[in-house]
Amino acid sequence: MKRFNKIGFKASAILFSSAAIFACSNEQDPGLEYAPDMYHSIPLDPYSQIKENKFNPGGMNMREPAKGTVPRGKQGYNLYLSVDTAEVAGVELTNPLQKNEENLAQGKVLYSRFCAPCHGENGDGQGLVGVKFKGVPSYTAGRVAELPAGHIYHVITMGRGRMMPHGSQVNPTERWKIVMYVQQLQKGETGTTVEAGSDAKEEAGGEAITDNPVTGTPEDTPKRETPKN
């Protein structure tokens, strides 16, 4: 009986060892990969860097845009300011949207959503957050009342001091509409009526641009000279 037990044990050990060897073997047929081009892209994907790119400088797929170009939908915002500060933006940037009641009304709605909690409905710095944390200036007092459109746009986009950037929350078109309404608040006005006969284009400081009803981006972009190095 013991002899049969020993034989059975040895046979089991051999079978187990054989199974382990075959299971761990790397010589199994992996099969065929269907449509490998769907997994390993031949084109250069900017957000997928698998190996060094021998065609582009630095070996990267992603490349910086040509200097002086403006991405679609960026509303003519010159990403190549001579100096990237709010003060310089106040000089070099102007609002490309026409000042009219529609843009002002939309700017007021956007302001109430993104700005009023700190700056207050009337731009007096007395929003619920502004009252809690203190120090939010009024648009009608001091130098803040004289800030130009480009300066305000830059601060909305990039932030300043305790104000965080809002560039990811409002697109360029919406920012310029907010700027337009903020400039109303600088004058102590909360209405969205544009007086008949006023030069709306001159007040806006830029060219009259209409929004694309599908994409919400301008049909045309103002041409600006690229600062020379």
Name the helix (H) or strand (E) containing 10. helix 2-24
Q: From CA 118, how far away is CA 29, in angstroms rounded? A: 65
Q: pLDDT tens digits, residue range 101-155?
A: 999 999 999 999 999 999 999 999 999 998 988 889 999 999 999 999 999 999 9
Strand runs labelled E in the chain: none
In this prediction, residues 3-30 reach a mean pLDDT of 58
Cα–Cα distances (Å) from 193 to 42, 105, 109, 163, 214, in that order, read 56, 9, 14, 29, 26
Residue 145 lies in a domain: yes
Q: Is the pLDDT of residue 226 over 90?
A: no
Q: pLDDT tens digits, residue range 175-196?
A: 999 999 999 999 999 888 887 6
Read off the CATH number of the domain in which 194 is found. Answer: 1.10.760.10
Residue 163 lies in a domain: yes
Residue 75 lies in a domain: no
Q: From CA 129, how far away is CA 116, in angstroms rounded? A: 9
Residue 223 lies in a domain: no
Residue 92: domain span = 86-204
Residue 36 lies in a domain: no
Name the helix (H) or strand (E) containing 42. none
What pLDDT, on the 0 to 100 scale, is given for residue 74?
Answer: 62
Q: From CA 201, how far away is CA 210, in angstroms rounded? A: 12
